Amino acid sequence: MKILIVLAHPEPKSFNYAMYLTAIKTLKENGHEVKTTNLYAINFNPVYDRSNFTTVKNPDFLKLQIEEIHAAEMNNSYVAETKIEQEKVEWCDLMIWQFPLWRFAPPAILKGWTDRIFTSGRFFKDGGYYENGTLRGKKALLSVTTGSPAKTYTKDGYHGDIYGVLRPVNRGILECVGFSVLEPEVNYSVAHLTDEDRKTVLKKWSNRLKNIFNENKINVGKY
């Protein structure tokens, strides 16, 4: 199968990076094709403006959705950086995002990536959303680390249920464009893990990935 792994962490020595490398190694060893996007390493520009396009529909007023549809009509007239990422998303059977949870959200560089890549006219077209989305049949998985412990991310916890925290991404971005969302891989309070703990987590992650295509989607809407 074909897997795209998107990493959004600036530190190569981080636990997120270790999770990322473990995923690459495990999936390749199990016969899968893997493509990657290391957002900080490629200095991806998360700002979404006219610079995303090589054509212009209306030079007097920027409405991004109109420019997106125009770009699709003009043979996907996006800048090379955007087209490369769009093609990776269309190529994959499974997309994994590896990122730390910052202020209840992915890093801005990852959100900016979605703004620029998941565009109208290419990924949103003919009224296709959710079950009718253009990327239906593909799976997506969030692999997330947190600074706070697991007990703070329960329904009665200090931060609230982790599924509720992740729902805007799982439902509003991934399912909205057609992905079937798998159970998130959440590792809590990673800065406080011992070396032995980290080895255990990485082994658990590797074991899960060996059978990842046997997993069914979760019901994001119930959380």
- For the stretch 121-136, pLDDT in tens is 999 887 788 888 899 9
* Pairing status of strand 180-181 against strand 139-145: parallel
Instruction: Please state which architecture CATH assigns to domain 2-41+79-222.
Output: 3-Layer(aba) Sandwich (3.40)
Instruction: Say which residues have a Cβ less than 8 Å from residue 32's Cβ, sequence separation at least 6.
Output: 1, 2, 3
Q: What per-residue confidence (pLDDT) applies to 152?
A: 82
pLDDT tens for each residue of 90-107: 999 999 999 999 998 999
Measure CA 84 to chain center.
Answer: 15
pLDDT tens for each residue of 25-43: 999 999 999 999 999 999 9
Q: Where are the domains of the chain?
A: 2-41+79-222
Q: What per-residue confidence (pLDDT) applies to 154?
A: 79
Place of tokens 């990536």: 113
Question: What Rg value do the Cα atoms of the chain yield, rounded?
Answer: 18
Q: Which of 128, 159, 160, 223 is catalytic?
A: 159
Single out the residue of 146, 142, 135, 129 nearest to residue 223, CA to CA: 142
153 part of the active site = yes
pLDDT tens for each residue of 60-87: 999 999 999 999 999 999 999 999 999 9
Binned at pLDDT 50, 70 and 90, residue 223 comes out as low
pLDDT tens for each residue of 136-192: 999 999 999 998 876 887 788 787 788 888 999 999 999 999 999 999 999 998 888
Q: Which of 20, 78, 153, 188 is catalytic?
A: 153
DSSP 158: S
Q: What per-residue confidence (pLDDT) applies to 22?
A: 98
Q: Which of 129, 130, 137, 147 is catalytic?
A: 147
pLDDT tens for each residue of 112-121: 999 999 999 9
- Which is higher by pLDDT, 10 or 221? 10
Q: Distance between CA 201 and CA 188 in Å, rounded?
A: 11
Q: What per-residue confidence (pLDDT) applies to 115?
A: 96
Q: What are phi and psi of 102, to 5 degrees?
A: -115, 115
